[in-house]
A and B are shown apart, each in its own frame.
Chain A
Amino acid sequence: MAYIIETESLTKKFGDLAAVNTVTLNVRKGSLFGLLGPNGSGKTTMIKMLTGQILPSSGNAHVLGLDVATDPVGIRTLVGIIPEQESPPSFLTAMEYLEFIGDIRKIPDLEQKADWWFDFLEYGDKRNVLCKDLSRGTRQKLMLTQAFIHDPELALIDEPLINFDPIMQEKVKGFFVSYTKQGNTLFISTHLLETAEEICSEVAILHLGNLLYTGTMESVREGGRHLSDLFLSLVRK
């Protein structure tokens, strides 16, 4: 079994608070993995650890075979990341931001790729507008573009659809599904259960930093059960 993300007793403490508590988790290559949990459950902390933005307090994690504690930059070279708060630099235009990313990541044919994304996410008319003047939805489109423009085999996205209108949500969900069908892996964190139920192939439920459940969508649906039933029964315990 090829796991693209492996964690073992992964823990992150902020003072006395264990934001993530001894989480052991495996994510298969090619899956669309949903990390679910209510607000404050530790989802964002988990993504930050997996992308080397913060160091674990204990335990270990490997992403694409690289240790998050010793090679965070190596991981960020290979993966695409969208943080919870969309934050492209204020005084760059959308296109300048992509060129900035392109130069750091050494992306060939950047302009063609950028054109494709501007066209696909329908924001080409905003390419020369400063990021600080973009709407939240357009900023989210730009962040989506920067995460996928280098064709990563793994992307980690915190609340991927939160700022999109329903039409754009459908489009992006379709992209996620086709992206994983090509053998890539997507790790998303969300509290939108309908979205997770619709597109995810595997899910994990995190609550107060503890992993309560992990399994495939088939196992979730056993006996005609919905993801929301499972989720509520676990977090309300």
Chain B
Amino acid sequence: MAGLFMNMMKEEWRIHSTMFGSLNFALFPVMICAIAFMGTFLLPLIQASMPIGDLVILIHAQYLMLGFMVGAFGLLGNEVMNRRFGQASLLAFSARTLPMSPRNIFTIFVLKDTLYYFFLWIFPLGAGFLIGSLFTGIPFFYTLNILLTLTLSFLTGMSVVFFLSSLYQRSVKALFSFLIFTGLVFLGWFMLTGTNPATLFPPLILFYQFSWHLLLGSVMVVLVPCCIALFLFSPDIQSGTKNYPNRMKPLIRHLNRFPNPPLAAKDVIDLWRSGSIVGQTIFSFLVPLIIIWFFLSLLDEYVSTIHLLLTFAMITGIIASTMYTWLCMFDSFSVYALLPLHVRDVITSKITSFTLLQVIPVFFMGVITLLSGQGEFLLPVLVLTLSVSYYVLAVSIWLTGLSPSVLVYDVRVMVQYFLLIGIALSICGSLTSINPWFGLAGVGLFIPAFLLVRLGMRKWAREEVVGY
């Protein structure tokens, strides 16, 4: 098992390093560490405008969300075990010729991914903060404690989504029953005690009152859902012969006003039949955003509801932009390279499909705006959500072409990605802090978005698509 684990680690490294070079991949965690290091020096400035407790909540929420975003292993299980994961053949498939159970192989795969994410994101951020604390006089125990609780936040998010996505793969009814039951428990708690359920988050409690019992409890909150998820995993390794109704022709007819209807139809079918449209919407969109909303609402003593809502609209826009990766995960350009198609045709079609998916964030933000009693600001909230979403999509297209989930780990790409998004969000955030209606100015982001897409199409037409 140790041998397979080590080889899977090497495989993950090579997937990325063959795409953009070992150095650029290796520098990725160094960059995260550097950002955290520099961020430590900003803490006294941030503290002047935001209580440190709120900052702690926000950082834990971000780590929790990161865990949510990457934890849907339950949705990947069969893809990983069935040889073709996109266009790559993974070790997880070839390892099936070894005398090991598929569950053990899948467990190793999950462990490998967890460790990779830890070393790419969690450890460098904590290390940067740790080094920075030596210069800023922040107590050492405090930094060690936050490194521990942030790690637990990330692992909790990952573990919960792993459990939920595995439950979803087994039974959609069971998932919804579980979600309704959990929702009712939290609602009951809120009605009885009047406290926000987010305050029950174990890593946050641990941060404020460290004890070994609480630590053990937090670790159990990570381990128990993970073990249940692995128990629920059932690999569908036999080829099926199920017949499916023909959806291509009717979809092409329905989408005939879009550019390249067959490409958009293929995207829709891919998302539907893979279970991604429901699964990803729940696990990579709704669940993280609902939890983030709970955490943000802890700040309402200091920030007005409309400003929280506008911040949330920008976060939703960023999360909505990751729908582009949902669309690119099933194919690479090699599928289209046999056909009379340009790279720009495929990118245009992905944007079309992305546009169809934007109904989800629009509906979600509409509901959140109305529920929070800010209906009169519905227009700036929706404009801001969509503007940020399309802008970040354009940045992704320019920087990563049709391989967003792989090329994003190129350090050069990530630096540009952070910079371009950071600048845009700072401008939007500043404007909306003056007047919520200035959120309408978000439409201005469509201009750089349009230019970035044009540049991206030209850039990726020149680049040779490297397989991995």
Q: Which B residues are CB-close (under 8 A) to A54?
A: 464
Are B330 and A89 neighbours in the complex by a CB distance under 8 Å?
Answer: yes
Q: In angstroms, how far is the closest chain A Cβ from the Cβ of B114?
A: 26
A2-10, A22-30, A73-81 - the one binding chain B: A73-81
Check B338–A100 contact: CB distance below 8 A.
no
In whole Å, how far is A69's beta carbon from the nearest beta carbon of chain B? 12
**Which residue in B244, B263, B269, B334 is a CB contact (below 8 Å) of A87?**
B334
Give the residue name and chain of the A residue nearest to B337 (CB): A53
- A189–chain B nearest beta-carbon distance, Å: 15
Contact B334 A103 (CB under 8 A): no
Of residues 173 to 208 in B, which have CB atoms within 8 Å of A's CB atoms? Answer: none
A137 within 8 A of B: no
CB contact between B266 and one of A76, A89, A95, A147 (< 8 Å): that residue = A89
When distances are taken between beta carbons in the complex, the residues of chain A under 8 Å from B337 are 51, 53, 76, 83
Tell me which of B261, B273, B274 contacts A103 (CB under 8 A): B261
**B335, A104: Cβ atoms closer than 8 Å:** no
**Given known contacts A73-B341, A76-B338, is B274 in contact with A91 (CB within 8 Å)?**
yes
CA distance A147 to B339 in the complex (A): 10
- Chain B residues closer than 8 Å to A129, beta-carbon distance: 240-244
**Which residues of the other chain, B, contact A74 by a CB distance below 8 angstroms?**
340
How many residues on B have C-beta within 8 angstroms of the other chain's C-beta atoms? 36
B248 near A96: Cβ-Cβ < 8 Å:
yes
Chain A minimum-CB-distance residue to B249: A99
Most A-side CB within 10 Å, residue of B87, B246, B270: B246
- Residue B436, interface by CB 8 Å: no
CA–CA, A99 and B239, complex, Å: 23
- Bound together, the chains give a CA A91 to CA B241 distance in angstroms of 13
Q: Which residues of A contact B87 (CB under 8 A)?
A: 87
- Is B458 an interface position by the 8 A CB rule? no
Give Cα A46–Cα B338 distance, bound, in whole angstroms: 15
CA distance A139 to B269 in the complex (A): 19
In the assembly, what is the distance between CA of A95 and CA of B82, in Å? Answer: 22
Residues of A within 8 A of B464 (CB): 54-55
CA distance A214 to B262 in the complex (A): 41
Question: Do the beta carbons of A130 and B240 come within 8 Å of each other?
Answer: yes
Does A146 touch B at the CB level, under 8 Å?
yes
- Cα distance A192–B27 when bound, in Å? 46
- The verdict on A104 contacting B341 (CB below 8 Å), with A128-B246, A135-B239 known, is yes
Kindly provide the distance from the CB of B49 to the nearest chain A CB, expressed in whole angstroms: 49
- The digit string for B69-98, where 1 denotes a CB below 8 A from any CB of A, is 000000000000010100100000000000
| Chain A residues within 8 Å of B265, by CB | 100
Decide if B342 is an interface residue (CB 8 Å cutoff).
yes
* In the complex, B286 has a CB within 8 A of chain A: no
Is A132 in contact with chain B by the CB < 8 A criterion?
yes
Give, as a whole number of angstroms, the nearest-CB distance from B110 to chain A: 22
By beta carbon, the residue of chain A nearest B343 is A73
- Chain A residue at smallest Cβ distance from B467: A85
The one of B244, B252, B335, B342 that contacts A130, using a Cβ cutoff of 8 Å:
B244
Q: List which B365-404 residues lie within 8 A (CB) of chain A.
A: none
CB neighbours (8 Å) of B252 from chain A are 99, 103
Q: Is there an interface contact between B341 and A92, defined as CB atoms closer than 8 Å? A: no
8 Å CB interface, A73-130 against B: 73-74, 76-77, 81-83, 87, 89-93, 95-96, 99-101, 103-105, 126, 128-130
User: Is A170 at the interface (CB under 8 A from chain B)?
Assistant: no
Neighbouring B residues of A218 by C-beta, 8 Å:
none
B113 within 8 A of partner (CB): no
Q: Across the interface, which residues of A come within 8 angstroms of B248, CB to CB?
A: 92, 95-96, 99-100, 103
B323-361 with Cβ < 8 A to chain A? 330-331, 334-335, 337-342
Q: Which residue of A lies closest to B334 (CB)?
A: A87
- Residues on A with C-beta less than 8 A from B270 are 89-92
Per-residue CB contact flags for chain B residues 260-278 toward chain A (1 = under 8 Å, else 0) read 1111011001100110000
Residues B246 and A90 in contact, CB atoms below 8 Å apart: no
B residues near A92, Cβ cutoff 8 Å: 248, 266, 269-270
* A132 and B269 contact, CB distance less than 8 A: no
Q: Which residues of A contact B239 (CB under 8 A)?
A: 132-135
Chain A residue numbers with a CB within 8 Å of B137 are none
A128 touches B244 (CB 8 A): yes
Q: Which residues of A contact B246 (CB under 8 A)?
A: 93, 95-96, 99, 128
Interface string of A201-237 (1 = CB under 8 A from B): 0000000000000000000000000000000000000
Of B330, B338, B342, the residue contacting A91 (CB under 8 A) is B330
- Check if B245 is an interface residue, CB within 8 A of chain A: yes
* One of B82, B84, B262, B273 near A100 (C-beta < 8 A): B262
**Chain A residue at smallest Cβ distance from B342:** A73
* Chain B residue contacts of A93, Cβ below 8 A: 243-244, 246
Give the chain A neighbours of B170 by CB distance below 8 A.
Answer: none
- Across the interface, name the chain B residue whose C-beta is closest to A48: B337
Interface string of A128-150 (1 = CB under 8 A from B): 11101111000000000011000
For B333, give the chain A residue with the smallest CB separation.
A53
- Whole-angstrom distance between the Cβ of B118 and the nearest chain A Cβ: 30
Partner of B273, one of A76, A83, A130, A135: A130
Residues of A with C-beta under 8 A to B84: 90, 132
Q: Does B247 contact A (CB under 8 A)?
A: yes
Report A-chain residues with C-beta under 8 Å of the C-beta of B245: 128
Residues of A within 8 A of B244 (CB): 93, 128-130
Q: Name the 6 nearest CB pairs between A and B, nearest first.
A: A77-B340, A96-B248, A103-B262, A128-B243, A91-B273, A99-B248
Task: Please name 18 further chain A to chain B contacts, defined as beta carbons within 8 Å, in addition to the given A93-B244, A104-B262, A135-B239, sorted by A numbering.
Answer: A53-B337, A73-B340, A76-B340, A83-B334, A87-B87, A87-B335, A90-B84, A91-B270, A92-B266, A99-B249, A100-B266, A101-B339, A129-B241, A130-B242, A132-B84, A133-B241, A134-B239, A147-B338
Could you list which residues of chain B lie within 8 angstroms of chain A, going by C-beta atoms? 82, 84, 87, 239-249, 252, 260-263, 265-266, 269-270, 273-274, 330-331, 334-335, 337-342, 464
Offer 17 A-B interface pairs, CB within 8 angstroms, sorted by A: A51-B337, A53-B337, A76-B337, A76-B340, A76-B341, A89-B330, A90-B274, A99-B246, A99-B262, A103-B262, A105-B339, A105-B340, A128-B243, A128-B244, A129-B243, A130-B240, A130-B273
